[in-house]
Structure 1
């Protein structure tokens, strides 16, 4: 401020002083914020955390999409294999492995029962 534009009216002087005080207050607040290392670090950490959460959400969505696509392809491949096995000229036990597995499991269970009974008697 130069000497030429100084107001001479007391009300104008008070208004200019109030404006200068307000500007000075804003400047001091800005300087204090810059020197508050803890607050700046917390602010930066909050920004990084927010960015990481956004990235995590995007990755989760992408993984969910890929999982759905893989599941669709797997079920399609399984259906193709089922049709190929059903249409192939194979024995019934091979075409339907569930009865074969049940037969094997039953045989193992009977064998285990006999083993345990003999062990208990001796």
Structure 2
């Protein structure tokens, strides 16, 4: 059984490769979170708009009945 001992240059290259992989993963996760946040904000705006339309409609109907 032969054991290969990595040289300092190999260790540094491995660390650099792992840093790149980690940076890529973090960037992908950040993008996913941002997309979800934008979607949630759009949904909240749509819900607020619907609530406003319903409120106005109820107010108009009540005023016409009185």
Q: Structure 1 length normalisation: TM-score?
A: 0.41
Which residue number corresponds to residue 43 of structure 2? Answer: 69
Structure 2 unaligned regions, length at least 5: none
1:87-102 counterparts in 2 under 5 A?
Answer: 87-89=61-63
1:85 aligns with 2:52: no
**Pair member with larger Rg:** 1
Which residue number corresponds to residue 30 of structure 2? Answer: 56
- The alignment partner of 2:59 has SS state of helix
Counterparts of 2:62 and 2:26 in 1: how far apart (Å)? 52
Structure 1 unaligned regions, length at least 5: 1-30, 90-122
Aligned CA RMSD, in angstroms, stands at 2.0
Counterparts of 2:20 and 2:49 in 1: how far apart (Å)? 43
Q: Structure 2 length normalisation: TM-score?
A: 0.69
One of 4, 9, 18 as aligned partner of 1:44? 18
- The alignment partner of 1:87 has SS state of helix
Aligned length: 58
